[in-house]
Amino acid sequence: GQAQTPEEVAEGFVRIAVANMANAIKQVSVQKGRDAARFTLACFGGAGGQHACLVADALGMDQVFLHPFAGVLSAYGMGLADQVVMREQAMEVPLNQAAIAALTETAQRLSADARAALRAQGAQAEIIRVAVFVHLRYAGTEAALAVPLATLREMRESFTMLHRARFGFATPERALIAEAVAIEAVAPGAPVEEALIAPRATGTPVPIDVVRLYSAGAWHDAPVFDRDALAAEDCIRGPALIREANATTVIEPDWQARVTGQNHLLLSRNAARTGRVVIGTERADPVLLELFNNLFMNVAEQTGSVLQNTAMSVNIKERLDFSCAIFDASGGLVANAPHVPVHLGAMGESVRTVLARRAKTLKPGDAIALNNPYNGGTHLPDITVITPVFDDAGRNIRFFVGSRGHHADIGGITPGSTPPSSTTLEEEGVVIDDFLLVDGGHFRETEFRALLLGAKYQARNPDVNIADIKAQVAANEKGVQELCRVVAQYGWDVVAAYMRHVMDNAEESVRRVIARIGSGRFSYRMDSGAPLAVAIEVDHARRSAIVDFRGTGAEQKAGNFNAPPAVTRAAVLYVFRCLVGDDIPLNDGCLKPIEILIPPGTFLSPTPGRAVVAGNTEVSQATCNALFGALGVMACSQATMNNFLFGDANYQYYETICGGTGAGPDFNGTSAVQTHMTNTRMTDPEVLELRYPVRLEEFSIRRLSGGNGRYQGGDGAIRRIRFLAPMTAVIVASRRAVAPFGLAGGEDGAAGAQWVERRDGAREFLDGTAQAELFPGDVFVIATPGGGGYGAV
């Protein structure tokens, strides 16, 4: 690479640190629905002032505030803190006029209790202030916002305004639920009287020293000032340093510091930002490579934060069953947030499908929706929204932003769109194939609703589908905005070049791994008896590998354990990324050294139209574990997602249930966690029981279910759900007949099982793919598999 001076290397480390700090602030701001660039940066900590100007520049902020005690501000604040007592009580009542009296009475009771608690701590009654809030949310959602207790009209208006500011939309006509009453009683601390300082009678501040300062790629002579010697209205132009007992503040070039009458420092830019940073594109600078790695991943993370915030369904908002990523102009995956691996590895095929069909007709403001598993989808509940990013002229596509979310229902022959007995794609729900969702900025809601309701097995709750799709559109737009901010700083060519460099770096990382591993093969049987065969042939000279799935069983015609090639590709991408010890994004560069051979007509490359709903979940897990087995690096994890669904005409619920991970040559497995191709959360018990007519009676570790070995496999889990209303329940799972394998002499993990305990005491055992009718008092029990052990004892 290009030789760098020690100063350039050191400044590179600072730039990476600054970018990471700025990205963290962006993430928090986006979650709260705020644009950091519109605010003043409050800076504290002994070293905070050293980076304040640079962090503000990275965030697009023009002003920084530093308190006289910024270096010890936390300790100073603790000494002056108010005494606060908070009380809260759940209500869970519809917000209407009749509820106002109950809310008021509860608030009065909580306020009296909090006042008494403060008086017991020595606070004087006359200084105590009480604020009363009501946590409101839309019926059927979990995103509660606190508004002051007031009249019915005022609370509805306050909630609408807050919801629109936080999530970007509001539906004022929708019913509201008063979730809880909360009060905050405050006894103010001793009043703070900040001593005023006088302006300087004559002259300007005199530096105590001049030092050499390396900043923005050049050396500067920087005067050093003593904070105690500064007077009100003193103005110091950068580059300069301000020294004090507990901190040092660096005033960067093009910034200035002004001292206020309260002895605060206000840093502000005194020159406009230059806009784009001029850097080369042909050769990757190691500092910029790390910086762009972080920038691209942060764009995807911010996209995901908006999606989580604005979605309506439990599946996306609570379980986090979604993924966001950015792609280059050819549809290559560049970077992703740490979401769901099976989504991320397959989404690029969806982008390439859109490119192949619409490259000449796409325009700024368009967004495309699709879920067709044979065009880059995974299974029908996973709907992908793809938004192109055009150049400044609006003519050429430079990048793409994509989001994929699992919708709780998209139609099909059973609620939840994961039927255990489907044999055709049509039976699994509505197929969305390259649908123009947003046309030049106009959301085509009428047409999309007609699509959802026009299929043979139509979507059961299109309002929720549309709400979540709107959240995906909003999330993508955030990603577009953030990419354009990066472009504004570095330019289109540089950003495109570093997308390529990031993928090249991933390629080189995988080639280094391939150079250290050996060839191997493995065959693992599905519960049906069908073999999943894989051979990995390593060419050490070329540092490349062939992953060959020949010998895998035929496609399922009477079942849905079929995985489209995009799913198999995602599994290969995930496994080889796992072998890389470096902190790199999961991207298409990881697959450049790898040739994947998937024979058509197998259950890894089925005929279009075959049912595939279990391929995304069950077959992907088996593929992933077979690859690890062929490499000899890890015993089998639970190798299933334990898909559990229940519903009726009004409710649709879906979850994947955790299990044990496999052990390896120097580590034990982990118990009761989501493994490999899924990365979703379990729904909180309180949310599950609030939103659905069920009660979670047990969620525990399934002891001794992990395989024995020199290193022990992780244990599975037990989940017992009692039904309080009639529901149709579905289980789609595997590793029930064929247990998770051990490796190198380690024992297999325990196979999974499921059964229904009827209210009369009868117990009905079910296959791994089954449907059952549940009645009030019945309990559905799932015991998930443990991971395999590693090494003979």
Beta sheet of 63-66, edge-to-edge order: 41-43, 63-66, 265-269, 255-259, 235-237
- For residues 447 and 498, membership in a common domain is answered with yes
Mean of pLDDT values over 162-169 = 72
- For residues 29 and 133, membership in a common domain is answered with no
Q: According to the model, what pLDDT value does residue 359 have?
A: 92
Q: Is residue 437 within 8 Å of 469, Cβ to Cβ?
A: yes
pLDDT band for position 277 (cuts 50, 70, 90) = low
Map residue 225 onto helix, strand or coil.
strand
CA separation for the pair 515, 534 (Å, rounded)? 19
Four-point Cα dihedral 345, 347, 349, 350, nearest 10: 170
Beta sheet of 531-539, edge-to-edge order: 520-525, 531-539, 544-548, 594-597
| 727 within domain boundaries | yes
Cis peptide before 341 (omega within 30 of 0): no
In angstroms, the first-to-last Cα distance of the chain is: 49
- For residues 21 and 119, membership in a common domain is answered with no
730 DSSP β-pair partners: 645, 771
Strands 63-66 and 41-43: parallel
Q: CA dist 387 to 205, 368, 371, 462, 597, Å? A: 54, 7, 15, 22, 31
Q: According to the model, what pLDDT value does residue 692 have?
A: 92
Q: According to the model, what pLDDT value does residue 664 have?
A: 97
| Average predicted confidence (pLDDT) for the chain | 92
| Residue the block writes with tokens 């608690």 | 117
Cis peptide before 239 (omega within 30 of 0): yes
Mean of pLDDT values over 755-772 = 96
User: Residue 31: CB partners within 8 Å, gap ≥ 6?
Assistant: 305, 309
pLDDT, tens digit, 9 for 90 and up, residues 104-125? 999 999 999 999 999 999 999 9
Q: According to the model, what pLDDT value does residue 276 have?
A: 53
- For residues 731 and 652, membership in a common domain is answered with yes
| 210 within domain boundaries | yes
Q: According to the model, what pLDDT value does residue 432 have?
A: 97
Strands 240-243 and 218-226: parallel
Q: Where is 389: in which H helix or E strand?
A: strand 382-390
Q: According to the model, what pLDDT value does residue 255 have?
A: 96
Mean of pLDDT values over 494-513 = 93
| Boundary of a domain, candidates 269, 303, 330 | 269
Tally of residues, the chain:
793
SS3 per-residue string spanning 308-357: HHHCCCHHHHCCCCEEEEEEECCCCEEEECCCCHHHHHHHHHHHHHHHHH
Q: According to the model, what pLDDT value does residue 620 have?
A: 95
Q: Is residue 311 within 8 Å of 403, Cβ to Cβ?
A: no
- For residues 56 and 156, membership in a common domain is answered with no
Q: According to the model, what pLDDT value does residue 275 have?
A: 56
User: Residue 746: CB partners within 8 Å, gap ≥ 6?
Assistant: 635, 663, 707, 708, 709, 710, 711, 713, 788, 789, 790, 791, 792
Mean of pLDDT values over 422-440 = 95
Q: According to the model, what pLDDT value does residue 30 have?
A: 63
Q: According to the model, what pLDDT value does residue 320 have?
A: 86
Beta strands in 599-726 (DSSP E): 643-647, 652-655, 694-702, 716-723
Among 34-43, 280-289, 499-508, the least confident range? 280-289
Q: According to the model, what pLDDT value does residue 775 have?
A: 97
Neighbouring CB atoms inside 10 A of 70's CB total 24
pLDDT, tens digit, 9 for 90 and up, residues 514-543? 999 999 999 999 999 999 999 999 999 999
CA separation for the pair 254, 268 (Å, rounded)? 9
pLDDT band for position 280 (cuts 50, 70, 90) = low
Among 20-34, 233-247, 746-760, the least confident range? 20-34
pLDDT, tens digit, 9 for 90 and up, residues 637-650? 999 999 999 998 88
- For residues 320 and 378, membership in a common domain is answered with yes
Q: According to the model, what pLDDT value does residue 705 have?
A: 98
| 522 within domain boundaries | no
Q: According to the model, what pLDDT value does residue 678 have?
A: 86
| Residue the block writes with tokens 């194939």 | 433
If one counts the domains in the chain, the total is 4
- For residues 375 and 241, membership in a common domain is answered with no
User: Residue 522: CB partners within 8 Å, gap ≥ 6?
Assistant: 533, 534, 626, 627, 629, 630
| 764 within domain boundaries | yes
| Boundary of a domain, candidates 235, 269, 303 | 269
Q: Is residue 661 within 8 Å of 638, Cβ to Cβ?
A: yes
pLDDT band for position 281 (cuts 50, 70, 90) = low
pLDDT, tens digit, 9 for 90 and up, residues 143-161? 789 999 999 999 999 999 9
| 547 within domain boundaries | no
Is 166 a residue whose pLDDT tops 90?
Answer: no
What's the whole-model pTM score?
Answer: 0.78
Residue 603: which of 586, 587, 626 has the closest Cα?
626
| 609 within domain boundaries | no
pLDDT band for position 49 (cuts 50, 70, 90) = very high
Kindly give the interhelix angle for 492-514 and 565-578, rounded to the nearest 10 degrees.
70
| 511 within domain boundaries | no
Q: According to the model, what pLDDT value does residue 31 have?
A: 58
Residue 21: which of 64, 66, 54, 70 has the closest Cα?
54
Is 273 a residue whose pLDDT tops 90?
Answer: no
Q: According to the model, what pLDDT value does residue 147 have?
A: 97
Residue 118 belongs to domain with CATH number = 3.30.1490
- For residues 407 and 479, membership in a common domain is answered with yes
- For residues 176 and 32, membership in a common domain is answered with no
pLDDT, tens digit, 9 for 90 and up, residues 715-757? 999 999 999 999 999 999 999 999 999 999 999 999 999 999 9
| Boundary of a domain, candidates 153, 187, 221 | 187
Mean of pLDDT values over 574-587 = 86
CA separation for the pair 383, 461 (Å, rounded)? 15
Q: According to the model, what pLDDT value does residue 33 have?
A: 58
Is 350 a residue whose pLDDT tops 80?
Answer: yes
- For residues 164 and 262, membership in a common domain is answered with no
- For residues 225 and 178, membership in a common domain is answered with no
CA separation for the pair 413, 428 (Å, rounded)? 6
Full domain range(s) for residue 424: 286-505
Mean of pLDDT values over 688-703 = 95
pLDDT: which is higher, 312 or 268 = 268
Joined tokens for residue 788: 């395999």
Joined tokens for residue 606: 């089925």
681 DSSP β-pair partners: none
pLDDT band for position 352 (cuts 50, 70, 90) = very high
Among 559-563, 580-584, 763-767, the least confident range? 580-584
| 581 within domain boundaries | no
- For residues 106 and 132, membership in a common domain is answered with yes
